[in-house]
Every structure is written in structure tokens, then in C-alpha cells.
Structure 1
Amino acid sequence: MSQGDHSAYAIIAKKRDSKKLSSDEIKWFINGLVRGDVADYQMSALLMAIYLNGFDKDETTALTDAMLYSGEVLHHGPKAIDKHSTGGVGDKASFILAPIAAACGVEVPMMAGRGLGHTGGTVDKIEAIKGYNVALGLKDFSRLLKEVGLVLIGQTGEIAPADKKIYALRDVTATVESIPLITASIMSKKLAEGASGIVMDIKTGNGAFMSTLPKARALAKSLAETGLRFDRSMMTVISDMNQPLGNAVGNSLEIIESIETLKCKGPKDLTDLSLELAGGMVHLAGLAKTPAAGVAKAKKALKDGSALEKFRQMLKAQGGDTKVIEDYSRLPVAKMKTEIPAHKAGYISKMDCKAVGMHNVLLGGGRRKSSDPIDFGVGFVFNKKIGDKVKKDDSIATIYHNEDQASQVADIIKAFHAGDVSISSSPAKAPDLIREVKIYFPKKNTKKK
């Protein structure tokens, strides 16, 4: 279809008036954006129209398709399974589940993002390891996938370049919270990576983008339906983000906790979720008949040390300092430590997880804008979580900070006492870690756990 058959004005007006766009119209618009024929302000107008009036399944699929084929598309075998998390605080599961799955025979092609806002970025965390190269080209990406079984790099301009342009506009036009736009953004990148199946970890709770369970379910359904339309096996997991995952929050601190977990010495919640997700990847790859059988294989790989060895192989293949596995002093960790005392006795009943993430940003462990530098060494290690009993002045968490950050530390302690962490007089129950798991295979019935 020639460029003259459509106009940006007409397409924007059509969606403004709540009418359905054709796949040709969507493709024309996205191709025009990438070529530079469609202006940023026109794309912004269409984004707002989509945000307000929605996209149906066909439109969402057409948008995903157009964004997917705006760049290079890789093709791997049936054992290539990727994982994506919608983001949270202390979410370092990728560093654990990917080596576990790879040790079980899964090929894990991971292209991860950097942190922005209260959520940490996988790429920022792995770059705390000296020498680790996240900027591999697609040829090296594919080569290492075959040689090592897993590869972890940053997002590249060769994959779904339309998404990079659109996401930057969504971020500044108040159109981020749209399930069709979120779906197309995530799936265009994941499909382009060449995986035959994808495990989606959708976070819900006060530290998650999808703060309520109905919103998380709606996103999970949209992601799964889109994956099936592209003939991909899908697993959607809805997991809790009402408190940090694991105990560590902060780049180097999370790498340390990840390695400890690979040594079978990690926190229970982080270990359990990593095993659940890795087991699902093993199942989707056809290496286990059931998810439970996949988890059993994942547990074996964790226990026998083969998962830790895969992590070591990944670091070596991408230039990272493998000595950090035995010597955590080789990681940049802030020298100063300050405890956050409980202001009264009782039970930890609630945490403002998003606030914890923003405190880490305040210390320099995250970004307020994309150009901000990252301080790998700062962060938190939680000594108490929801449901734990505390005495007055017990340490709820340890702040890792620099010498010149006394005022920020004082502000953080005040915020914790003012409501970031709530303490009740009666016992409190920890939230369920995994809310729902669904597995989908193309042209087969859904299986629900």
C-alpha cells in the first residue's frame, strides 16, 4: 500500500472517534514513524486516542506486528524460552532463574532494560560486575546463546526500533498505563528475540505497575492472547509486590543476594519464585511434561551447583569478573551502614514498596531521568518483612550509603517511621507470593494451576 493511501490526520481522527483501525492503517502509521514521515506530535496524539478509547485484540496484534517487524527479527529453536517481569523492587529473579533454566537445557535469550522510576533495572544490576558487556551485537547474542545456553544484554536499536520511539513518547505524554500499548511494547521486543515461548511475571501490589489484581489479570490475559496469536507458548505468573522480593534492594546488593541464592543460601521468597519461573521455562521448552516436573528439574540444578556454574559461564563469556562469585568485596558496596530501628514493638503489617524503591533512587541507586548516573553500591538489606515480630529498636533494614548522605538517611528513617513500614499490635500475615499461574500452548486448551 502506498504512502498516499493514508494520512496521519485521518487515522488519528478515526481512533479519536472510537472507531477500529485496520491493520494496514496501523502498519502505515508505525512505518511512517520509523521513517520519519510521521511526526512525534502525531504519534503522541494517536497514543492518547488509544489510551482513551482502547484497542481490541485485532488492533493490539496489528500494533505488535508492526512494531515487531520495524527492526531485526531473530529465530531460535524450540528450546529458546525467555522471561519478562513487569518490574518491581528487589526483583533480581532473572539472575537466578536464567542460569537454572539453562542448566536444565533451556536456551535463554534475554534482552533486559535499565531502571527508571522506582523499579530497578536488570542491566544496571549486572553492570555492577566489572567488565560485563551488555552491548553485544545480534550475531554475538545468537552465538553465545548456542555456546553457553544463556545470554543477557541490554536493549539494542536493531530490535523493535519503533518501540524505542513510542515508549519515549508514552513516558512524557501520560499514556504509559494502557494495556494494549504495554502489550505491544513488551511482546514486540520479546517476539523479536526469537524465543518460542515466554514466561511473564506480572507483579501486583503497591510496588507494582499493575497495583490491583484485576489490572494484573487483564495484562496477563492480553500478553497471553497476543503470544498465542504469534504461535508462542506462554506462561503468565501473577506475583506479589507489596514488599521487596528477597531482602536486598540496590544494584550490587542484589547481585550478592542472587549469587547467594544460586549457592542455595538465598531468601525463601526469592528462591521459590525463581524456581517456579524456571520450572515453567523448562516445561515450555518441552524438557518436562508438567510444570511440577519442571520445578523438580530446576531444584536439582540449583542444588547440584550446575545453575551457579551456568552463571559463571555467562559472566566469563561476556567479559565479567567471575571472581565476584567467591569474593563479594570485588563488587562496589557503599562503606557506610545505618540501621532503621522499629519505632515500637509489634508485627510488621504493611510496607510501602514503591516508597522503598524511591528511597533507593534518592540514594543514587536508580534514576529520576534516563541520563542520571547509577551508584552501584547504595541500597537496603531488609532484616524484617511483613508478618515478622519486632521489638522496639530492632533493625527493620540496613541502609548502605555514602559518607555525605547523612541528611538523606535521616529523611529515609523518618519516612519509615511515618508510614513506609507499618507496625501493628496484632499478628499480621505475609502476602501470598504467587497469586496465579496459567500456561498456554498454541492451538491447545489452557491449563490452569
Structure 2
Amino acid sequence: MMIAAQSATIKDRGTGSALEVLLVFLKLGVTCFGGPIAHIGYFRDEFVVRRRWLDEHAYADLVGLCQFLPGPTSSQVGFTIGLLRAGYGGALAAWVGFTLPSAIALVLFAYGAAALSGPTGAGLLHGLQLVAVAIIAQAVWGMARTLCPDRERASIAVVAALIILFSASSAAQVAAIGLGALAGLWFCRGAPTSPADHVVVLVSRRVGFVALTAFFGLLFGLPVLRDLGGSQPVALFDAFYRSGALVFGGGHVVLPLLREAFVTPGWIDDNAFLAGYGAAQAAPGPLFTFAAYLGTVVSAQPRGLAGAVLGLLAIFLPGMLILLGALPFWDVFRKHPRAQAMMRGVNAAVVGVLGSALYNPVWTSTVGGPGDFGIALVGFVLLTAWRAPPLFVVVLSAAGGIALPHIMS
């Protein structure tokens, strides 16, 4: 089933060029601040209202698909819009354009962060760590209100958080998400069903099968290759790929996955990890470009620019493969009540996973006194109550981190 009969919902499908798509997404990659929800708003304004590449129904259905799947939602939406406009070349151009500005900014920060020394540099890095507390707290708060609206899903979230908090196993996060799916199948079947609007089919079933085979083959095959060969590049690729493959519920969920993959084996310390995550909040574009920072500073090989490229390719690849694999089958699958119930449980579990990360490592390694708590609290209120732009909160927290030693002395 190739894309053939969707002209009623897609305007001028396939008539654009990859260069056109690249230029549009480069502009969005420079200007899209605020996380995936904000990105989806920017995309709607650009492609539905202004350029009319899609209509409202097709766009809403596309967003619903990408929110259901693991991976970076806004990047998956952009990838699919590029695919619609200019084929696979357009899809690649959309990903490159949206990702490149943020990735370059974080690589530059990675090189500059090593040069920061003295009280001012230490205060700046500490302020970036504190903004991570506010950002993750905002994400937990918002996701809990949306994804855990009843006692069943709230309980699933709490159990998932307890599994992470009291387990020393590296597989605890995967186990928590898997148990969330089983609990959702049992406890969340009575929740209202999602609307079953028709989804735009973009690829053939053959391509879908190939993509799904590649997704699961890499997910289970990379750890085997890593253990057999002991290759550091394979180990790094596996760490990034596994983290990107298990992200449900928003880009912030990648934080505990990446920490487990990079801090636990000693490839990067907690302070440098959280400083980079705080800097990622100030950059436009997808949060997954945090991988460019990690690939640059990681102690394993390759590192530097080669590590940044490897990290970006590996962390985004699973989300794009699962998207291509789901497109031909999504319209049938999403109508099954059991599938919807499982995903409600998964979404609730990831709230618990992120909530546990808010405590450890974000809170335990960053908030050391009343001054730290005050900066984090101000940032949280600005984000949640005042709807302040994340870039403003990052700058304010960084300034607070610099000024705090003088205020508390």
C-alpha cells in the first residue's frame, strides 16, 4: 500500500524539493524553543496555517501517531512532513534542518564548558544543573496531570517510581515500563477510547516490515555485538540507540535512560551530565540533541565531533525506524482497545520513571542547600505559573548560580 489516495488530506503531496524542506526546517531549527509541545504548535502554524502542506485533520492524526510511538515526537512529526512533501530525501532534509542548529550549539558548549574554571565558571555550571531541576519538575507535573488523571494510572506511576528508586538493576527502567503495559492492559481498559480518525499511510507494508525488523534487530543485536567484541564505538552506539528506543511520553524521559547508559559505567560524571542537560534547555530544536553534547565529552572512543555525529545518528534512528514501521499498520492497530489500554499503562509508568529521576540524580546531586532550592523553585514557578520561555529561565538560573556564593557568604 503506497501513498496513493490521500490527496483529500494532503496538499500538493510530493511536489516539493528536499532543498525547500531543508530551508524551512533550518528556520524552525533556529527558532523553535520550548520543547515538543511548543514545536508541534510551531509546525501547525508553519505547515497547516501558513504553507498548507497538510490540513487540520491529517496533521492532528499525524501528531497522535507520533505521540503514541517511542521516540522524539516533534522530530518524528517533522520527519513525516518532509516525507510527505518530498519523499525520503525530504524526510532526511527535515531531520537535518531541525536537528543541526541545536546540535552545533551543544557541541560548542561541550568544548566551551571544559574551559570554564574558577568561581564564575563553577557557578555558571551549577546554575545550569539547577535549571534541570525546574525543567524536570515541570515535565513531571505536566505529564502527571495529563497521563495520570485517575487513581489506576497514578498508582501505576507510583509503582514504577518505586521500582526505579529501590532497584540497583540496570534493567529496572525497562521492567517498570513493561509492568506498566501489563498493568494498563488489566486496569485501564475502561478508560475512554481514542478517536479513530484515518491516518495517512506513507509507506508500503514491505518497507514497514523492513523498518520494524531493523528496529528490533538493532535493539537486541547491538548488546550481543557489544559483549562479543568489546568495541567502544559499538558500545556507544548501543547506549544511544537503546536510550532513544525506550523513550515514551516526551523527550525528558530520555534523561534517566541516558544517565543509566553513560553515568553508571563512568563515561561521564553527574555534574557534567546535568550541566549539559541544563544547556540543552537553552537550545532550540529537539531535546534529543543532548546526545551531541554527550558524544563530544564522553570518555570512551570515539569522542569529539565523531562522537557527536555517532550519538545523534544512534539516538534518533530508532524513533524513525519505528515510525516507518508503524505507518502502514497504525490505522488498524490503534482501534484495538487492548492496545490503547497498554499504552495508557506505559504512559503512566514513564511518569513514574521521570519522577524517580527528578529525585535521583537530579535533586540529590544538585540541591545542596536553601539557596539551591530557592533557585530551582523560582525556575519551576516561572515555567509552570508564568509560562516563561525556557531560555529565560536558563539564563536566570545561570545568573543565580554565579551570584549564589556571594549572596550566601
> With structure 1 as the length reference, what TM-score do the two structures score?
0.25
Q: RCO higher in 1 or 2 (8 Å CA, sep ≥ 6)?
A: 2
Structure holding more helix per residue:
2
